[in-house]
Amino acid sequence: MIRFWHRVGLSRSLAVLLLVGAVAGGVAVAADGPTEPAAATDAADPGPLDTAAADSADQKRTDAERAEAERAARDTAQRKADEAATAAAEQAKKVASATPSKTGKPGVVPPAAPASCNIYSGNRKVGCAMVLAHGWDLQQMACLDKLWTKESSWNEKARNKSSGAYGIPQAYPASKLASAGSDWQTNPATQIKWGIGYIDQRYDTPCKAWSTSQSTGSY
């Protein structure tokens, strides 16, 4: 390059200066030229810390939703239990205030019905068979058992020393039993027959007679 400038009439010193200037100009151009743009950071792609924070927030939201669901389930169960208790109390109140007997006395909760007459023995078993034959059910036998257990313990010879009432149904006066049979003083079946007729006529059912006995002390 220096030889070229020398041939055209330039001195060696001037040629060197021109060459240095050209090189410097090239470097400047290269320095001022476009540079490769840096790769853009994807703002939508969270870093490790951002991901951990998001996971923590999701976990807290899930725990809160689970706790709320459990609380709602407990509240629902408690509400249903309260409603069932209220309904049971109302039903018990209705049973306790059952249809009054013919005497107008308030009803009481009747005893549970037996499975069959086989749970009884002696005079009670005879009485159970006669109750069913009369057209009443085992519920009525349960009431009759309560009633006559209170009156005489089903003893055909039981006598009330104060009033003179006699027999299983405690007829008063005792001679009323004679309408059911001449053996009224000793035959349990005769006394039971009379007692069933008496209850049917006056109270309609043993359970109503038992209700009256519970309210007034007698029937």
pLDDT tens digits for range 55-102: 677 777 888 888 888 888 888 878 877 787 677 666 655 555 554 444
In sequence order, the 6+-apart residues with CB closer than 8 A to the CB of 45 are: none
The closest alpha carbon to 151, from 175, 131, 168, 136, belongs to 168
Kindly tell me if the per-residue pLDDT of 119 is higher than 70. yes
d(CA 132, CA 177): 21
The pLDDT confidence band at residue 178, using thresholds 50, 70 and 90, is very high
Q: How many residues does the chain have?
A: 219
Q: Give the pLDDT confidence score for residue 209 in this predicted structure.
A: 97
**Whether the Cβ atoms of residue 89 and residue 97 lie closer than 8 Å to each other:** no
pLDDT confidence of residue 54: 66
Residues with Cβ within 8 Å of residue 9, at least 6 apart in sequence: none
When the pLDDT of each residue in the chain is averaged and rounded to a whole number, the result is 79
Closest CA to 167 of 126, 144, 159: 159
Please provide residue 57's backbone torsions phi and psi, each rounded to the nearest 5 degrees.
-65, -40
Closest CA to 149 of 122, 186, 117: 122
Average pLDDT over residues 144-154: 98
Q: What is the pLDDT of residue 63?
A: 83
Range 137-166 average pLDDT: 97
Residue 170 is predicted with a pLDDT of 98
Give the pLDDT confidence of 16-38 residue by residue, as tens digits: 555 555 555 554 444 445 555 44
pLDDT of residue 159: 97
Mean pLDDT of 25-54: 53
CB-based burial label for 62 (10 Å; 0-12, 13-18, 19+):
exposed
Examine the pLDDT at 214 and tell me if it is beyond 60: yes
Q: What is the mean pLDDT of residues 38-65?
A: 65
Q: Please, which residues bridge with residue 182 across strands?
A: none
Q: How many CB atoms lie within 10 A of CB 107?
A: 19
Of 46-50, 125-129, 155-159, the one with minimum mean pLDDT is 46-50
